[in-house]
Amino acid sequence: MKKIIIPKEIVTVNESNEIIRDKAVVIEEGIIKRFIPKEDVKEYSDEFEVFDLSELTLLPGFVQTHVHLCQTLFRGLADDLELLDWLRKKIFPFEHRHNAESLRFSAALGIHELQTGGTTTILDMGTINHHRSVFEELIKADMRAVSGKCMTDMNDLYPDFKEDTKKSLQTSYELSEEFHGANGGKIRYGFAPRFVLSCTEDLMIEAYQMTQDFEGAFYHTHSSENKGEIAVVKKMTGKENIEYFDSIGVLGENTVLAHSIHTNEKEIEILKERKVRVAHCPSTNLKLGSGIANIPRYLNEGISVSIGADGPPCNNSLSMFEEMRAAALIQKPIHGPTSMDALTVLRLATIEGAKALHLEKEIGSVEEGKKADLILLDLNGSDKSLLDDDENIYSDIVYASNKRDVKDVMIEGRWVARDGKSTVYDEKEIVAKGREELLKLLARAKT
Ligand SMILES: [Zn+2]
């Protein structure tokens, strides 16, 4: 388990955004023990496995705070629709037909894509049934994750796809008892009522109370994504989404709200006061035509913002590079080209994601004492800046890189990708098995 990595440079994303060029990283028992001068590495070579990656740039692994591993099988099957139709016509009927095996390969494909693209931590929302399969794959792949089954006890959009309130709560609680803290603490539970329109007030409130029984557990839902959704929420509750959540007492620093696009002044105040975490999903927000969240405003207000790719059927990629680029670009026509600079966006994709999940003491930056969740990028191609001063490195990562530039990925000292290939999965095999499961699922959907 003792390793030394010699990178070209270390993009630390620490408090002072230091870039270190003359040091190697010593890793013991999954922890970044110290940085040592590159010329001292030979003194360690008897005892340590040395990885000379001196052409590559070392960064903290990305943290995505809103994904749906259960939807990976459905990529490309639900394009060009508006949110409520997307759910009613495609996603709810598909999720309803998942069995344990189709869900397993959906999770495996998603984890493979995330890890080989440099994402080492996720906040994942599951589907109603069979969520155990997702946990089993997360553990197999050593993914760091907060995950939980989706809770849905009413559904006017697709009435077949719902569960009894008590059963939803009980199953969630039992899964949390079994998996919260699993795999050496890499797994934590996230109670996940889907959104206001598919949850009774009792379910929303009791699920929130359950999070209090598990230290470090999360409350993860969607909010204020689409104007049509908001109009129905208003009709149902008399309130806007976030005002409603606040009125039933489910907002706090363990609450992550995906999207939060259409928010009024009072809601922005509530987000700030309650220390709610906003998970920004720029590509999905564009593709579903939902709108553009005012992220520069949230950041000015000191609201926690981090980034997620959301689900493959509404993006259709799980690459953090595409999300970073979109997060920067979509604000510029509205707030000007100086809003959302590259470094700000890279921080949202790493340390701010860690902070959102209360993991900033463990991950999110490359610092002594933190866990070795690390990625190595090749920024030497003809499609990159020709200079490698600090500013150009951030520019290359956010504006000019893609997942193919990710060469090596480590989670807590274990390589999960080497030279662009997963060490966990055989890509051809999971694609073939995933396809087989998808075809069976689509056949089930016809009956
Ligand atoms: Zn989502």
pLDDT digits (tens, 9 = 90+) for 197-241: 999 999 999 999 999 999 999 999 999 999 999 999 999 999 999
Cα 428 to Cα 33: distance, rounded to the nearest angstrom: 36
What are the extents of the domains in the chain? 3-60+370-422, 62-356
Pick the CATH number of 3-60+370-422 from 2.30.40.10, 1.10.760.10, 3.40.50.720, 3.40.50.300: 2.30.40.10
Cα(376) to centroid(ligand 1), Å? 28
Tell me the pLDDT band of 117, cut-offs 50, 70 and 90.
Answer: very high
In this predicted model, what pLDDT tens digit does every residue of 298-345 receive, in sequence order?
999 999 999 999 999 999 999 999 999 999 999 999 999 999 999 999
Cα(284) to centroid(ligand 1), Å? 9
pLDDT for the residue numbered 67: 98
| Structural Rg of the chain based on CA atoms | 21
Tell me the one-letter amino acid at 391. Answer: E
pLDDT for the residue numbered 238: 96
Superfamily of domain 62-356: Metal-dependent hydrolases (3.20.20.140)
pLDDT for the residue numbered 333: 97
Q: Is the pLDDT of residue 157 over 80?
A: yes
Cα(22) to centroid(ligand 1), Å? 41
pLDDT for the residue numbered 283: 97
Report H helices in 289-341. 295-300, 320-329, 332-335
Cα(339) to centroid(ligand 1), Å? 25
Cα 287 to Cα 290: distance, rounded to the nearest angstrom: 8
Residue list, CB under 5 A from ion ligand 1: 310
**Mean pLDDT of the 62-90 span:** 95
Cis peptide before 316 (omega within 30 of 0): yes
Cα(95) to centroid(ligand 1), Å? 13
Q: Is the pLDDT of residue 447 over 80?
A: no
Cα 176 to Cα 254: distance, rounded to the nearest angstrom: 15
pLDDT for the residue numbered 446: 85
Cα(223) to centroid(ligand 1), Å? 9
> Is residue 279 a contact partner of residue 258, using CB atoms and an 8 Å limit?
yes
Cα 41 to Cα 24: distance, rounded to the nearest angstrom: 7
Hey, is 283 helix, strand or coil? helix
Cα(318) to centroid(ligand 1), Å? 12
Q: Are strands 3-11 and 23-28 parallel, antiparallel or unpaired?
A: antiparallel
Cα(21) to centroid(ligand 1), Å? 39
Closest C-alpha among 292, 126, 303 to residue 225: 292
> Is residue 373 a contact partner of residue 349, using CB atoms and an 8 Å limit?
no
Closest C-alpha among 175, 170, 158, 236 to residue 207: 170
Give the E-state strand segments of 127-213 in sequence order: 144-148, 150-151, 187-193
Distances in Å between the Cα of 400 and the Cα atoms of 20, 335, 403 are 21, 22, 11
Cα(222) to centroid(ligand 1), Å? 6
Tell me the one-letter amino acid at 7. Answer: P
In this predicted model, what pLDDT tens digit does every residue of 342-397 receive, in sequence order?
999 999 999 999 999 999 999 999 999 999 999 999 999 999 999 988 889 999 99
Cα 297 to Cα 317: distance, rounded to the nearest angstrom: 27
- Express as a percent the part of the chain with pLDDT over 90: 97
